[in-house]
């Protein structure tokens, strides 16, 4: 069973904060605005997938490079699909 989108959003935020600190909150707020949402509690799976795609395409390459951005996006999308499972254990927040 897939976790609630707001739960995955919180998990992504925590992962981002491990790398970028409080700047992560602003990075995600920008992407919420891009998908025309103000409240993470209103997220759908589709919104969340789009946010991860925007992070992968627009935000992360400048700080992680294109390969690092792709790895993070794949990890986060696995969380959307199945809650992370083995992917969570295999990748620590700061390792990607």
What was the pLDDT predicted at 1? 63
Quickly state the pLDDT bin for 94 (edges 50, 70, 90): very low
Q: What is the residue-averaged pLDDT of the chain?
A: 86
Quickly state the pLDDT bin for 7 (edges 50, 70, 90): very high
What was the pLDDT predicted at 81? 86
Distance CA 11, CA 76 (A): 9
Q: Is the pLDDT of residue 3 over 90?
A: no
HSE-up of 43 (CA within 13 Å, CB side)? 25
pLDDT in tens, 47-85: 999 999 999 999 999 989 999 999 999 999 999 987 544
13 CB-near residues (< 8 Å, 6+ apart): 24, 25, 28
**pTM for the whole structure:** 0.81
Distance CA 69, CA 67 (A): 5
């Amino acid at each position: 069973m897939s976790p609630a989108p707001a739960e995955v959003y919180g998990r992504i935020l925590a992962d981002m904060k491990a790398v970028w600190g409080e700047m992560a909150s602003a990075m995600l707020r920008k992407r919420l605005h891009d998908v025309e949402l103000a409240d993470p509690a209103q997220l759908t799976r589709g919104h969340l997938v789009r946010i991860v795609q925007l992070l992968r395409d627009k935000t992360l390459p400048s700080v992680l490079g294109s390969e690092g951005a792709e790895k993070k996006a794949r990890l986060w999308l696995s969380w959307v699909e199945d809650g992370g499972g083995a992917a969570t254990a295999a990748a620590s927040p700061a390792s990607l």
